[in-house]
Chain A
Amino acid sequence: MKARSKSRRSRLAGPAVASEHLPSQEELRRIAARVLALSEADETEVTIEAESDALTRFANNVIHQHVAEQDLVISIRAVVDGRTARATTNKNDQESLRRATQAAFDLARHQPKHPDLLPMARPLARGAATPVRRYFEGTASATPADRARVVAQLCDAARRGGHTAAGIFSTGASAMALANSRALFAFHRQTRAEFSITAMDGDSSGWAKATSPDLGRVEPEALARRAMEKAALSRQPREIPPARMTVILEPAAVLDLVGFLFYDFAGTAVLDHRSCFNERMGKQAFGTNIQLWDDVYHPLQTGVPFDGEGLPRQRVHLVESGVPKRLVYSRATAKKMKEKPTGHGLPLPNEWGEAPMNLVLEGGDSSLEAMIASTDRGVLLTRVWYVREVDPYEKVLTGMTRDGTFLVEGGRVAGGLRNFRFNESMLEMLSKVEALAPAVRASGEESFDMVVPAMKVRDFHFTELTKF
């Protein structure tokens, strides 16, 4: 009784700490059991996702937004006579669960039969799944005041240095369970911490960002220092005409470009003729120094180690020495393409099939410093922005450089540059990689986090300039 009353107090007036609000595996299992007991469908699947997140946002060297949220979402998929549909609710009282379960049933039966629908997945043998540890108590127990104190110090430092800082410091935790009427039960929980900062210095700016499940691995002070150094180094940016130039891409820039390839590796994308790897599988699409994996188990990766149907994700060597060799498959796509499922299926029903979302681009033995030192004339890019696909088959992407674009001359950084627009084919870019640094966990704003190296690329296509 005493423990319970303490828990109630903390829920009433608690300090917005993620760990206080996250349900346990057993609590999620009980909710799943309630739904499965309510369902009259031939087969039923329940996915429950609980999240507790908080974010401290600063701009103009003050905290201007500061938020916390908690939610528990129950999603029910019913199968009725070869048809399937999904209903989702965040109300977990018995009547709401009954209504959502009935809604999934009703939606499913009022549609044509789906020829590719398979029976739901069965449980794995004990020990068949590889566990991952991505929950860190130190992250889950971070308070708003913990984040605000760090932000206040960094805002003070920015002010003293003549910079204007904007950014976020975020912490949170999530838990997910997937259960079905064939007795499959999968559970995962993880924490997340994120810090990013843009430092502005009159006519220049610098940016840095890091994410990790472990708050201890996110270093706000170091990131702030790097952003401010970039802002100072790029003061009074010069304008040079756009052209094909050698570029040195920091990991965040690599991530936000290469990440656009992710869905091209879906079996369904190839079946639908919308992958850039149609007619290119097994052929030399990239340089021989390109090795790409999807690997949720990589020590620098995050994410759920099972897919939308509860299958364990597998490591898949997508590109070997520049040759796209393998795709990822959901169960249904694998059957259509006479392959084995890889555990990358998206929650059913959907039209997308599957996707690799834990990309790892292998690095090399160079370094950012060595790349700069070996460059007579080129451009160093901190990050890219507003990247969009221009040509889906040649995989031409357009976008802008931002927050730290530097001219490299004579083997050293020679100062800031006005920002460029680029139009560059990913097939071409990854065929022109001259050097790779060791891969690191990287985070940008256009793609999900990946493990990628910094890279040096020749003849990167800058097409226009902006005015700052």
Chain B
Amino acid sequence: MFDLAHAAIETARRRGASYADARVMDIRSRDLSTKNGEVGTLGEVESLGIGIRVIARGAWGFASTDRMTREGVSGCAARAVAIAHASALAKQKDVALAAEAAVVDTWQNPFVKDPFRIPVERQLDLLLAADAEMRRVKGVTLTETSMAFRRIEQFYVSTEGSRIHQVKMQSGAGIVATSFAGEEIQKRSYPNSFGGQHMLQGYELIESFDLVGHAQRTAEEAVALHSAAQCPEGTRTLLLDGSQLGLQIHESVGHPIELDRVLGMEANFAGMSFLTLDKLRTLRYGSDIVNVVADARLEHGAGLGTFGYDDEGVPARCTPIISNGLFTGYLSSRETAALVGETRSGGTVRAESWNRLPMIRMTNVSLLPGTWRSDELLADTDDGIWMETNRSWSIDDHRYHFQFSTEIAWEIKGGKRVRMLKNPSYSGITTEFWNSCDAICGREEWALWGTPNCGKGQPQQVMGTGHGAAPARFRNVRVGVAFAK
């Protein structure tokens, strides 16, 4: 594959490109699902191709093809250069890239069990067993389970001399019980909603979930929600579990720190950001205990934002985003770093597949653990609401005003959970919310949650991102607005 990639950048150089990189991706995925005790989806997909990115006449061009022959990739490279020439019709200055040393390396994330070597019948048996456990609970009207695996092999070369071979193995699974009764649909998911939990691991991740062991409780909670009290409307102390907090970080920290958004490059679709350049190292993003990093290194954890090198050949890095409450860093690419005068890229550029242009994506944007335990947090809360597992999420196009709802909540009175609440929701302004954080649980309750479905770009690309979080507490948060009459 490296030969084809080299042929591509050589063609681009011969045709006048001042810079070129080529990325061969060979992707294999397996998806399984069950519904109400029967197999739903069962399929495997493989996709191989090359994406070639060039700068010619000072402007960008990108072309991709599935024709993996020397003739095919050379033709594709020539098209990329022709596209760059067309781009130059509407440029104001030449594209510049922050410097990056050439790298020759190979990298693979560690895993114990290759999910593609586990017999599919064994995987289905596990899903069907969890499905059956959920269906044993009276009142459950729909049961769903799923598993997804993805192996991504990349061969990257650039005209600056980089040559990187990288393999990422990704696994995930989840179960959902839904109950329709009266005039309500309620559901509970485990270990997370919208496809479950996903990480850069092998089948050992799936085995660690104990899907069957959690199925009954998941189903019982879905049914119990029908007789729970409605989440009240008002201003309350809010406690979030790690999975919901992971999505809160994703939406209200991860997206606004994307430098391409800040610089207006995503204005037509994903939107811009309230984090204008003047706010760097001046804005109190959160309270003093809020520390957020963007960390793609394996030592941070095996998250969906973990890799050895990004798709510009930049080694995985850790960037402090919020340091003791102060806003300290953006997610950047080689181009955006140069635009704002940074000397190096933050190493956050990735593409969904070979046929997509690499762009700034969250790596593992994580809230660092605090010092509390969740039992201490509960005991220390006189009057509050504990919300768990995302049900819906929405945030404005500057990433400032948000509203989330969760599957379930519990009212806390006098330091104890006193009753279950249904239809929980909360809303707020990003910086007000993070400044109201007064307690974060510790490392032992911290998990690196995977968001496998982050959309951005035109044409849209779906990417997996990671978000480390432990349960945390926020004061004076508006709750219940989503269901207000």
Q: Which residue of A lies closest to B184 (CB)?
A: A393
Q: Is the CB of A66 within 8 A of B62?
A: yes
Interface presence of B268 (CB below 8 A): yes
Q: Is the CB of A468 within 8 A of B398?
A: yes
Are A349 and B458 touching (Cβ within 8 A)? no
Contacts of B144 in A (CB 8 A): 351
Chain B residues closer than 8 Å to A419, beta-carbon distance: 396
A224 to chain B, nearest CB (A): 12
Given contacts A58-B90, A65-B62, A66-B60, contact A111 B42 (CB under 8 A): yes
Consensus secondary structure, chain B interface: mixed
State whether the Cβ of A60 lies closer than 8 Å to any Cβ in chain B. yes
Closest to B46 in A: A89
Is A369 engaged at the interface, CB distance under 8 Å to the other chain?
A: no
The 8 Å CB contact of B392, one of A84, A107, A149, A390, is A390
Q: How far is the CA of A386 from the CA of B400 in the complex (A)?
A: 13
User: Which chain A residue shows the least CB distance to B62?
Assistant: A67
A85 touches B42 (CB 8 A): yes
Check if A40 is an interface residue, CB within 8 A of chain B: no
Closest residue of B by beta carbon distance from A419 = B396
- Is B121 in the interface zone, CB < 8 Å from A? yes
Bound complex: CA of A263 vs CA of B68, how far in Å?
38
Residues of A in contact with B, size category:
35 or more
Whether a CB of chain A sits under 8 angstroms from the CB of B119 is yes
| Selected interface stretch from A6-14, A181-189, A337-345, A448-456 | A6-14
Within 8 A of A (CB), among B179-227: 180, 183-185
- Chain A hits for B83, CB < 8 A: 16, 54, 66-68, 144
Contacts of A88 in B (CB 8 A): 43-46
Q: Does B38 sit at the interface, judged by CB under 8 A?
A: yes
A258 within 8 A of B: no
Known interface pairs A387-B394, A464-B401; A278-B60 also in contact (CB < 8 Å): no
Tell me whether B75 and A466 are in contact (CB under 8 A).
no
**Are A107 and B43 CB-contacts (below 8 A) given A69-B355, A464-B481?**
yes
Contacts of A393 in B (CB 8 A): 180, 183-185
CB distance from B34 to the nearest CB of A (A): 8
Cross-chain contact B40 with A349 (CB below 8 angstroms): yes
Question: Which residues of chain B come closer than 8 Å to A200, judged between CB atoms?
Answer: 264, 267
Q: Which B residues from 355 to 397 make CB contacts under 8 A with A?
A: 355-357, 359, 391-397
B482 located at the interface, meaning its Cβ lies under 8 Å from any Cβ of chain A in the complex: yes
Partner of A107, one of B44, B49, B82, B268: B44
B44 contacts A87, C-beta separation under 8 Å: yes
> Which interface residue of B78, B128, B478 has the most chain A CB atoms within 10 A?
B78
B107 within 8 A of A: no
A61 partner residues in chain B, CB cutoff 8 A: 90, 92
Q: A14-B75, A111-B120 are in contact. Are A400 and B405 (CB under 8 A)?
A: no
**A398 x B482 contact (CB < 8 A):** yes
Apart from A66-B87, A274-B185: 15 A-B pairs, beta carbons within 8 A: A60-B264, A63-B59, A63-B60, A65-B60, A68-B83, A69-B63, A72-B66, A85-B43, A110-B124, A114-B39, A144-B86, A390-B483, A391-B423, A466-B400, A468-B398
Task: Offer 18 A-B interface pairs, CB within 8 angstroms, sorted by A.
Answer: A12-B78, A63-B90, A66-B60, A66-B62, A73-B47, A149-B89, A151-B89, A167-B268, A272-B35, A273-B185, A393-B180, A393-B185, A399-B394, A421-B401, A423-B482, A463-B427, A467-B400, A468-B274
